[in-house]
């Protein structure tokens, strides 16, 4: 799906958080939203997900206006993986089954259960299926939450800091896993990230926010010491490792 | 994206797992039916179950028929409906407020409803008070009493919803607000008592002890008319409560209108509490205990937790009432006293060892 955001502004308690944000994500692309803390990365995701209403601007998904749609219609088009989710004594299978909520009427059908089963098999979560999610590690839970979002059968996947609570191995695992899914299922994905080097290796395009606005957007080529220095207010050096830019704090 | 399902095998483990939950609920339902029969049979005179069946099949109007139809059955049905209704209100409040200590009683909604009902009876003259222990309050106008009880309950509920909006992450805060509300409305009831005669005071005090034996058939029909549709609505919304259990943001992204579902759930819970309190008095802890017991057994999936909690609430209240009837026979203890004796220690246990999310 193609996402087109134009002129998006959001205020919170009279204070401007986002101003005139404009960008586009093409089909099957992964976009990473980057920028310093408090710049409005999560707010931007929440606007796209219609969790909060922007004060002006348009959000078009394949030329359909997301802001004019009903909540359940939006839920059938895009899925959101929040940074944190409440956990309780329910099994991973039931937690993933919840992702079918936008598609069910009075009750789940056999097809819904089979779809959950299919995604569990595909993601090799079989061992977790009947375990309660409140006894899982951060990495396991994150996979379950991603599986829930996928079983929603969205065209656009939004993830808020999907790796923030994970150790190094789990970070690499989850990102590889996400990339495989996005590329293998004709999805489009947008995520916020803190670790710029991880983002460079994972995403196709990058959106840098600064002072409530889009500071720069583009592919890996735009990542220069000048840009990173401007956005984060910190002198950096960019070196090439295996042909990929690698950002190191410090000016030499 | 679209998921292909044709090639994948059956999820046997999961199907077995949910079949077990279904079986558990069926078994609990069977237990409830048996307990209902036993509860009709035992009492100051024992009625064998075949005779009860005979009364149901062909009501003759004789002595046994009179006891079954006008004394035991209304009492038993009151216990079942009130127990199921309070348990449902408890489980739904625990879900939408995302607070495991919620129930109509622990959050002061019951006390607020009792104040409203007492106000209707003493000030608006919707009922008459007598000093007869067996018949302390006669509700002359059940609609006004219920409406006033509901108004009282909604005052408390509105306060709770405001607190939930701003401080929802702290279960203890909510409980303290509940304590404050309970104290406030108990004080209100005391205020009404202060301007009543000695007989009336005795009657009001006696009335606030929950007792399932005082509902007449017409009371019972009103209770059923409110509780059953509410239970139906709760069940209809079970997936939405599951979604809210996963967090507001997740629920929203799954297409759930969280604010509306939450407000409506609280409104119906207040209504159930109001109608139960109006006719049966304050019955504590059923709404807190039943969901907790069932959550331990079959988990927090509302598809199963809701019906299981309703059945557990009905069994608990009916069982407690049987004990209350038999423990100091021929005198009958108000069941509200017994549920408080059983529920209070469990509430303290939950507060201390809070490990259930």
Chain B touched by A88 (CB under 8 Å):
yes
Looking at per-residue pLDDT, the higher value among B161 and B136 belongs to: B161
Domains of chain A: 3-88+153-218 (3.40.50.300)
Determine, for residues B252 and A153 on separate chains, whether the beta-carbon distance falls below 8 Å: no
**Calpha distance B106→B93 (Å, rounded):** 11
- Asked whether B229 and B271 are in contact (CB, 8 A), the reply is no
Answer whether residue A24 shows pLDDT above 60. Answer: yes
Q: Please, which pLDDT band fits residue B354 given cuts at 50, 70 and 90?
A: low
Distance of CA A84 to the CA centre of its chain: 13
Query: Is the residue at B148 inside a domain?
Result: yes
Q: Which residues pair with A33 in a beta bridge?
A: A192, A207
Q: Please, which pLDDT band fits residue A249 given cuts at 50, 70 and 90?
A: confident
Q: What is the largest CA-CA distance in chain B?
A: 78
Closest-CA distance of chain B to residue A111, Å: 8
The pLDDT, as a whole number, for residue B200 is 67
- Minimal-distance CA residue of chain A relative to B236: A106
B215's CB contacts (< 8 A; 6+ apart) are: B74, B75, B78, B223, B279, B280
- Asked whether A213 and A19 are in contact (CB, 8 A), the reply is yes
Determine, for residues A82 and B255 on separate chains, whether the beta-carbon distance falls below 8 Å: no
> What is the separation, in whole angstroms, between the first and last Cα of chain A?
42
Q: Rounded mean pLDDT of A134-142? A: 87
> What is the separation, in whole angstroms, between the first and last Cα of chain B?
33
pLDDT in tens, B26-58: 999 999 999 999 999 887 778 888 888 888 777
Q: Which residues pair with A216 in a beta bridge?
A: A208
Query: Is the residue at B111 inside a domain?
Result: yes
The CATH number of residue B100's host domain is: 1.10.3470.10
Determine, for residues A98 and B4 on separate chains, whether the beta-carbon distance falls below 8 Å: no
Looking at per-residue pLDDT, the higher value among A85 and A57 belongs to: A57
- In chain A, residues with a C-beta closer than 8 Å to the C-beta of B240 are 101
Which of A118, A135, A150, A156 is most worth mutating to test chain B (most B CB atoms within 10 A of its CB)? A118
Total domain count, chain B: 1
Query: Is the residue at B36 inside a domain?
Result: no
- Asked whether A19 and A76 are in contact (CB, 8 A), the reply is no
What is the average pLDDT value for chain B, to the nearest integer? 84
Determine, for residues B254 and A75 on separate chains, whether the beta-carbon distance falls below 8 Å: yes
Alpha helix ranges (H) inside A123-215:
138-151, 168-184, 196-202
**Calpha distance B323→B328 (Å, rounded):** 9
**Calpha distance B185→B196 (Å, rounded):** 17
Kind and range of the H or E element at B247? none
Query: Is the residue at B314 inside a domain?
Result: yes
Chain B touched by A32 (CB under 8 Å):
no
Which of B240, B249, B357 comes nearest A134 by C-beta? B357
Domain that holds residue B227: 46-352
Query: Is the residue at B97 inside a domain?
Result: yes
Chain B touched by A71 (CB under 8 Å):
yes
**Calpha distance B205→B235 (Å, rounded):** 36
The pLDDT, as a whole number, for residue B168 is 59
Q: Which residues pair with A16 in a beta bridge?
A: A11
- Minimal-distance CA residue of chain A relative to B240: A101
* Residue A184: strand, helix, or coil: helix
Query: Is the residue at B31 inside a domain?
Result: no
Q: Which residues pair with A158 in a beta bridge?
A: A80, A190
Query: Is the residue at B14 inside a domain?
Result: no
Question: Which of B260, B320, B300, B283 minimizes the C-alpha distance to B207?
Answer: B283
**Calpha distance B156→B178 (Å, rounded):** 8
In this prediction the pTM is 0.88
Determine, for residues B3 and A90 on separate chains, whether the beta-carbon distance falls below 8 Å: no
Q: Please, which pLDDT band fits residue A165 given cuts at 50, 70 and 90?
A: confident
Chain A touched by B61 (CB under 8 Å):
no
Phi, psi dihedrals of residue B107, rounded to the nearest 5°: -100, 5
Closest-CA distance of chain A to residue B23, Å: 18
Chain B touched by A72 (CB under 8 Å):
yes
Phi, psi dihedrals of residue B60, rounded to the nearest 5°: -95, -20
Closest-CA distance of chain B to residue A88, Å: 6
Question: Which of A145, A27, A122, A38 minimizes the C-alpha distance to B253?
Answer: A145
Query: Is the residue at B339 inside a domain?
Result: yes
Which of B14, B257, B295 comes nearest A89 by C-beta? B295
Distance of CA B300 to the CA centre of its chain: 19
Which of A49, A111, A185 comes nearest B1 by C-beta? A185
pLDDT in tens, B296-342: 889 899 999 999 999 999 999 999 999 888 887 777 788 888 888 88
């Amino acid at each position: 799906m193609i996402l087109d955001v134009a002129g998006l502004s959001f205020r919170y308690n009279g204070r401007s958080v986002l101003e005139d944000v404009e960008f586009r994500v093409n089909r099957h692309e992964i976009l990473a939203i980057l920028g310093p803390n408090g710049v409005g990365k999560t707010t931007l995701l929440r606007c796209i997900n219609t969790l909060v209403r922007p004060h002006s601007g348009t959000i078009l998904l394949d030329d359909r206006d997301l802001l004019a749609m009903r909540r359940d219609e939006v839920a059938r088009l895009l899925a959101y993986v929040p940074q944190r989710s409440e956990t309780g004594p329910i099994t991973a299978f039931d937690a993933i089954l919840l992702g079918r909520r936008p598609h069910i009427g009075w009750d789940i059908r056999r097809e819904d259960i089979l779809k959950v089963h299919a995604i569990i098999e595909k993601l090799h979560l079989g061992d977790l299926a009947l375990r309660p999610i409140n006894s899982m590690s951060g990495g396991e839970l994150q996979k379950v939450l991603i599986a829930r979002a996928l079983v929603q059968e969205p065209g656009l996947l939004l993830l808020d800091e999907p790796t923030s609570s994970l150790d190094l191995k789990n970070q690499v695992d989850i990102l590889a896993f996400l990339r495989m899914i996005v590329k293998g299922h004709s999805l489009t994905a947008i995520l916020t990230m803190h670790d710029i080097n991880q983002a460079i290796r994972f995403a196709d395009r990058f959106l840098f926010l600064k002072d409530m606005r889009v500071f720069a957007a583009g592919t890996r080529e735009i990542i220069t010491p000048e840009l990173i220095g401007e956005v984060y207010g910190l002198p950096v050096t960019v070196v090439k490792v295996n042909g990929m830019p690698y950002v190191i704090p410090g000016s030499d | 994206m679209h998921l292909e399902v044709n090639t994948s095998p059956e999820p046997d483990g999961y199907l077995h797992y949910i079949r077990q939950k279904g079986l558990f609920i069926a078994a609990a339902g069977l237990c409830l039916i048996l307990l209902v029969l036993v509860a009709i049979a035992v009492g100051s005179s024992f009625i064998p179950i075949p005779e009860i069946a005979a009364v149901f099949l062909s009501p003759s109007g004789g002595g046994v028929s009179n006891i079954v139809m006008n004394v035991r059955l209304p009492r038993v049905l009151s216990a079942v409906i009130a127990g199921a209704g309070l348990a449902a209100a408890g489980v739904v409040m625990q879900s939408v407020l995302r607070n495991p200590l919620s129930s109509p009683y622990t959050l002061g909604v019951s006390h607020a409803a009792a104040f409203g009902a007492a106000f209707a009876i003493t000030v608006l003259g919707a009922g008459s008070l007598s000093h007869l222990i067996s018949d302390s309050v006669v509700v002359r106008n059940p609609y006004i009493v219920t409406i006033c009880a509901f108004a009282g309950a909604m005052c408390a509920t509105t306060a709770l919803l405001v607190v939930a909006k701003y401080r929802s992450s702290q279960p203890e805060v909510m409980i303290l607000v509940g304590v404050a509300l309970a104290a406030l409305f108990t004080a209100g009831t005391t205020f009404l008592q202060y301007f009543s005669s000695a007989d009336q005071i005795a009657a009001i005090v006696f009335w606030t002890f929950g007792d399932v034996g005082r509902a007449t058939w017409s009371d019972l029909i009103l209770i059923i008319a409110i509780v059953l549709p509410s239970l139906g609505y709760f069940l209809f919304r079970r997936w939405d409560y599951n979604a809210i259990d996963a967090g507001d943001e997740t629920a929203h992204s799954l297409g759930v209108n969280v604010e509306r579902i939450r407000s409506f759930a609280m409104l119906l819970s207040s209504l159930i509490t109001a109608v139960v309190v109006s006719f049966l008095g304050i019955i504590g802890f059923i709404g807190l205990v039943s969901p907790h017991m069932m959550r331990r057994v079959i988990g927090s999936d509302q598809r199963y937790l809701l019906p299981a909690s309703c059945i557990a609430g009905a069994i608990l209240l009916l069982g407690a009432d049987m004990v209350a009837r038999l423990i100091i026979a021929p005198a009958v203890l108000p069941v509200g006293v017994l549920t408080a004796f059983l529920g209070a220690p469990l509430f303290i246990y939950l507060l201390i060892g809070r490990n259930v999310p």
